[in-house]
């Protein structure tokens, strides 16, 4: 809102920023990190958490939409922003604070092999599905395979299978290209946030926050702690990861595909501050198990 009042950016500057993020920063980061993904079977639970929550999010809002009378744009925005946690931007410092160096290392793996992959694959599928006036498998597949981060992801997986590693110079270049991502995403979202009474979408916002901050961590707690009996570090960090606010990248994708941009921006800007309190509550809960 401050950026909007300063009026130092053109009205539609966020479109240019989003283009830089989607076509430049994200492909570079995808190539950089996905080629280096390696994990053991024992680490599968934290990595699976983002996939589980996004899958349930898709069906949850698909069922809720006709009951709450949400249009396709709103349903898509909620699925994306409530279905994926901000593992890196918000999660890394929290994981390190709660679990030390081991927590940060697991957070990186949870982000690279989990939330980042979910966003660049299932997230694009969802965005294409809800942005189309008529659902077409051909259009959805075309959108997915023309989405630069997904192309980079496929290339990186191929290189990973070949056990290819970028030379130090290439790593340095990719890091420099991808490094502006966080600040550009924050500026882009900041340019679109509006808490004016006429812009605030209370009903869908409450549904989105309810799923993101309450249902998501509760589901992982029930599944990992009560059903699987995983009262370990892996179970605990999975619950904390599920309790985090919305992912910036998912919000950018929702906005890029025209999925209720105002709601998407409100979800990330409100869920992230609230998630600090949410994480505190869940940290206390899991400390007794």
pLDDT in tens, 9-40: 666 777 788 788 888 988 888 888 778 777 67
Q: What is the pLDDT of residues 51-98, one digit of tens each?
A: 999 999 999 999 999 999 999 999 999 999 999 998 887 888 899 899
CB 192 within 8 A of CB 14: yes
- What pLDDT is recorded for position 196? 66
Please give the model's pTM, rounded to 2 decimal places: 0.83
Enumerate long-range contacts of 162-165, CB under 8 Å, 24 or more apart.
164/35, 165/35, 165/36
State how far the alpha carbon of 154 is from the alpha carbons of 30, 32, 55, 251, in Å.
Answer: 9, 13, 21, 22
Scan for tokens 């009996």, then name that residue. Answer: 229
Give CA–CA dist 104/112, Å, rounded.
Answer: 12
Task: Say which residue, 289 or 271, is predicted with more confidence.
Answer: 271
**Percentage of the chain lying above the pLDDT 70 cut:** 92
pLDDT in tens, 142-186: 877 888 888 888 898 899 889 898 999 999 999 999 888 878 877
Whether the pLDDT of residue 3 is over 60: the answer is no
User: Rounded to an integer, what distance in angstroms lies between the CA atom of residue 83 and that of residue 122?
Assistant: 10
CB 78 within 8 A of CB 263: yes
Is the separation of the CB atoms in 211 and 60 below 8 Å? yes
91-to-85, 96, 108, 111, 230 alpha-carbon distances in Å: 8, 9, 9, 9, 20
Distances (CA, A) of 195 to 31, 107, 198, 265: 36, 32, 8, 10
- Residue 6's pLDDT is 53
pLDDT given for residue 243 in this prediction? 97
Q: Say how far apart CA 111 and CA 92 lie, in whole Å.
A: 9
- Determine contact, residues 224/285, Cβ cutoff 8 Å: no
Label residue 238 by pLDDT band (50, 70, 90).
Answer: very high
Q: What is the pLDDT of residue 193?
A: 64
Mean pLDDT of 215-241: 96
The CA–CA distances, whole Å, from 52 to 106, 123, 129, 136, 177 equal 17, 13, 19, 25, 31
The three-class DSSP label of residue 85 is strand
pLDDT of residue 109 exceeding 90: no
Cα dihedral value 130, 111, 181, 165, nearest 10: -120
Contact in structure between 189 and 250 (CB atoms under 8 Å): no
Which tokens in the block code for residue 201? 């979408």
Q: What is the DSSP letter of 289?
A: -
Q: How many CB atoms lie within 10 A of CB 273?
A: 11
pLDDT, tens only, 194-227: 566 666 789 999 999 999 999 999 999 999 999 9
- Report the Cα 143 to chain-centroid distance in Å: 19
pLDDT recorded at residue 105: 80
């Amino acid at each position: 809102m401050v950026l909007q009042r300063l009026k130092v950016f053109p009205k539609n500057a966020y479109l240019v920023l989003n283009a830089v993020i989607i076509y430049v920063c994200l492909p570079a980061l995808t190539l950089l990190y996905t080629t280096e993904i390696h994990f053991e079977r024992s680490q599968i639970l934290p990595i699976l958490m983002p996939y589980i929550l996004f899958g349930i999010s898709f069906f949850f809002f698909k069922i809720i939409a006709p009951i709450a009378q949400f249009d396709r744009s709103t349903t898509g925005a909620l699925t994306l922003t409530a279905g994926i946690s901000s593992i890196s931007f918000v999660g890394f410092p929290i994981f390190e604070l709660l679990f030390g160096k081991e927590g940060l290392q697991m957070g990186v793996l949870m982000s690279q092999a989990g939330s980042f992959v979910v966003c660049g694959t299932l997230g694009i599928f969802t965005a294409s599905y809800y942005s189309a006036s008529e659902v077409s498998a051909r259009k959805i597949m075309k959108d997915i395979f023309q989405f630069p981060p997904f192309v980079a992801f496929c290339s990186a997986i191929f290189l990973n299978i070949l056990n290819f590693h970028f030379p130090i110079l290439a790593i340095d270049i990719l890091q420099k290209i991808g490094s502006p991502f966080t600040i550009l995403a924050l500026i882009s979202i900041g340019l679109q946030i509006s808490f004016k009474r006429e812009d605030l979408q209370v009903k869908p916002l409450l549904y989105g926050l309810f799923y993101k901050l309450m249902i998501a961590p509760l589901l992982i707690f029930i599944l990992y702690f009560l059903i699987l009996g995983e009262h370990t570090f892996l179970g605990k960090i999975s619950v904390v990861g599920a309790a985090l606010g919305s992912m910036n990248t998912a919000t950018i994708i929702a906005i890029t595909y025209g999925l209720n941009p105002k709601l998407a921006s409100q979800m990330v800007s409100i869920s992230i501050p609230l998630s600090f309190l949410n994480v505190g509550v869940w940290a206390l809960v899991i400390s007794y198990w």
